[in-house]
Structure formats: C-alpha cells, structure tokens
C-alpha cells in the first residue's frame, strides 16, 4: 500500500506545511538534535510516566522465548530491551530507527544491558521495512508513528512483516479526555519548550514535538487506519486519561 502523493504536494511538520518529500529529513534533524538528552528529557517531560506506558505495552506483547520482534522508531531501546528479555537467547529482537544518532544510543543501551547476543540494530524507514513477509511475531512502534510521513504505507508495511497471528502495538501520544485538555495544552506549549530550552538547549525541537502530537490522528481515526491497512481485532487502551494510547491489531 502506498499513498505517497506526487512530487509537489505537502504535509505537516508540526503546524508548519512542508514539501511531502522533505518531512523525513526535517524529522531526522529534530532527533539528531535531541538524541543526547532524549532519555533525560523523557523523564522530565512525563514525570517518569513514559516508563509506565512502555511497561504496559510490553505487558501486551504475548512474546514467548524463541520468538522474533521488531521495534520501529525504537530510539534508545526501552521497548527493544524489554522484548529481548521476553524472547530470551533463542529469540531475536531488531531495534530500528530512521535516525542514526538515536540508533547509536539504543545500541549502547543493549550493550550495557548485556542483550547484544539476541538483538540487532538496523536503520529503517518504517514506510519500507526491508524484511520478508511473515517474519515477526510482534512489531512495536513507540512514540514514532506521528513522525512518519506516510502513515498508511507504514501500517501496511508493518502488517506485511508480521507472521499470521502476529500483533502490532502502536504506543503514541493521543487525544486526552476533555477535562484534561486545557491543562495538557498549557503544559505542552509552555512547559515542554521551556524544558527543551533550558535542559536540551533546543526549544524549537520540543515545540515541534508538542505540535506533532496535536497533528496526530485521534484514537478512533488511528483505529480506522489500522483496519484499512488490513489488521484485524483492532482496539486501543487509553492511558493517563487518553494522553497516551496503545493501539493493537493482528494479522490473521
């Protein structure tokens, strides 16, 4: 499935409109900038809740020893490390990211955790996953789908590489329940850029991250996109009042 528009069309980069073919380059620039402070900023921005959200996601994988998993947009390797422990030494987990700087930090994490024997690190564009059909028992993407230019193409590619019975898990910021929205908006557009400026010395990148969350499809829209990609049994779990959601779908 490929929904890439012809050259000349544009898409969103946060609230800015940019040429369709330029978004991936600009996203890479953001993560080149934030890679060194990524884990620290995640802890500061979420008050440590990102670890709880990832543990919840890991609890849904249903992975068993000896199985194979792919973590897309894996960043510094939290989900990949968790899945590597689930599949054990007879299994295999691929940590992937489109950004080389982020992938380097993830590789260091796996080395430090003693997980290199049954993990691999590969630089991947989620829209064009370079693995054969029916390869993985589980595919995850955590806080990365909103940065993908062609989301339908990426979801179809994820489904393609799943084995029959395999599961896709999408952990992503979403749309909170109404009572939380004013507080969440104030935090996103005032506190996050301030933290980015003071801690990471990069206010603009963290403003983009806040804007990219707002431009991401809401829970029901993403659910429909997963179904359109051919995934079945699709559903989602709201976490922290819908600030984050985990979407699940299967290949049967």
Q: How far apart are CA 86 and CA 118, in angstroms?
A: 11
At 39 the pLDDT is 84
Q: Are 242 and 174 in contact (CB under 8 A)?
A: yes
What is the residue-level pLDDT of the chain in tens, covering all 252 positions? 444 454 458 999 898 999 999 998 999 888 888 888 888 888 888 999 999 999 999 999 999 999 999 999 999 999 999 999 999 999 999 999 999 999 999 999 999 999 999 999 999 999 999 999 999 999 999 999 999 999 999 999 999 999 999 999 999 999 999 999 999 999 999 998 998 899 888 899 889 989 999 999 999 999 999 999 999 999 999 999 999 999 999 999
Q: Are 163 and 191 in contact (CB under 8 A)?
A: no
At 1 the pLDDT is 42
Phi first, then psi, for residue 250 (nearest 5°) are -125, 155
Q: Which residue segments constitute the domains of the chain, with CATH numbers given?
A: 10-178+207-250 (3.40.50.150)
User: What letters, b where the CB count within 10 A reaches 16 and e where it falls short, cover 73-94?
Assistant: bbbbbbbbbbbbebbeeebbbb
At 3 the pLDDT is 46
The total of other beta-carbon atoms located within 10 Å of residue 39's CB is: 16
At 8 the pLDDT is 53
At 150 the pLDDT is 96
List the structure tokens of 252. 């049967």
* Helices 38-46 and 49-58, packing angle to 10 deg: 100
User: What letters, b where the CB count within 10 A reaches 16 and e where it falls short, cover 7-18?
Assistant: eeeebebbeeee
């Amino acid at each position: 499935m490929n929904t890439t528009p012809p050259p000349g069309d544009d898409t969103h980069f946060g609230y800015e409109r940019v040429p369709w073919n330029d978004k991936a380059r600009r996203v890479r620039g953001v993560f080149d900038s934030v890679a060194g402070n990524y884990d620290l900023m995640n802890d500061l921005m979420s008050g440590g809740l990102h670890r709880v959200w990832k543990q919840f996601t890991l609890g849904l994988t249903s992975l068993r020893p000896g199985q194979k998993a792919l973590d897309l947009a894996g960043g510094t390797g939290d989900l990949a490390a968790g899945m590597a422990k689930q599949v054990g030494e007879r299994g295999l987990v691929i940590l992937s990211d489109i950004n080389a700087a982020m992938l380097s930090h993830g590789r260091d994490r796996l080395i430090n955790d003693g997980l290199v024997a049954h993990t691999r690190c590969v630089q991947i564009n989620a829209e064009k996953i370079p693995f054969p059909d029916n390869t993985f028992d589980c595919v995850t993407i955590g806080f990365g789908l909103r940065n993908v230019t062609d989301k339908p193409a990426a979801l179809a590619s994820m489904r393609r590489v799943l084995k029959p019975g395999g599961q896709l898990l999408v952990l992503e910021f979403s749309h909170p329940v109404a009572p939380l929205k004013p507080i969440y908006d104030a935090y996103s557009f005032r506190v996050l850029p301030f933290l980015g400026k003071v801690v990471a010395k990069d206010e603009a990148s963290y403003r983009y991250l806040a804007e990219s969350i707002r431009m991401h499809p809401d829970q029901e829209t993403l659910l429909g996109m997963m179904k359109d990609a051919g995934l079945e049994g699709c559903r989602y779990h709201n976490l922290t009042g819908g600030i984050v959601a985990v979407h699940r779908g299967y290949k049967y």
